[in-house]
Each structure stands twice: as structure tokens, then as C-alpha cells.
Amino acid sequence: MFQITVVIMKKLQRLRNTSKPRTPFEEKLLLRIGRKVHKELYDSNKSIEWLAWEAEIARSTVQRVFEAKYNLGIITLDRIARALGYSDAIEFLKTI
């Protein structure tokens, strides 16, 4: 019985430590950010590879931003914003 409880507790701990959004507001915010980044790339006729290179992040990270399934780090968002021509993440967030 004790071993089963420990296994369940470990699984719950992993769920809490994931970087997935926890509330509908967080999901909506991530979706808005992902759409804005995608629109900026589309409007400027730039590729995902270009953004990854300019922002010094992995291509898979850009994909995760588009998918809006995981939280973003503020540094990652700042790098993306600067690569897109904004002065920082705050200026970018003001436009969404």
C-alpha cells in the first residue's frame, strides 16, 4: 500500500512541475502570443528557421510557441520579441 501511495505522489509531483498552462486564461494568453509571433513572421515573409537563428533559440522552441501548449520563459519571449524588431518582451506584449 505504501509503495502505491509513493508512486501516485511522484506522478502528481511531475504533473505539478510541468510547464503546461494551468488555467484557461494562461492557455488563451499563450495562444495569443503564438498567433502574434506567427503573424509577424508571415507578414515579414520570414521562416521559422530565421526566427530561431535570430533569437538564438531552437527551432523546436519556436514550434512550441506556435502550438501554445507550454509556458514560455520570459528570456525566450524577450529574444523572440527582439528578433521580430521590438525593443523587448514588454513592447511585444503591449501589441497582443
Per-residue pLDDT of 46-57, as tens digits, reads 999 999 999 999
| pTM, rounded to two decimals | 0.78
Match 511522484 to its residue by C-alpha cell: 10
Residue 32 near residue 61 (C-beta atoms within 8 A): no
* CATH 3.40.50.620 is the classification of domain 21-93: no
Q: What pLDDT is stored for residue 31 in this prediction?
A: 95
Separation of alpha carbons 2 and 83, rounded Å: 52
pLDDT tens series, the chain, 96 aa: 556 666 666 665 655 555 787 889 999 999 999 999 999 999 999 999 999 999 999 999 999 999 998 888 999 999 999 999 999 999 999 998
Q: Angle at CA 88, nearest 5°, toward 45 and 71?
A: 80
Match 504533473 to its residue by C-alpha cell: 15
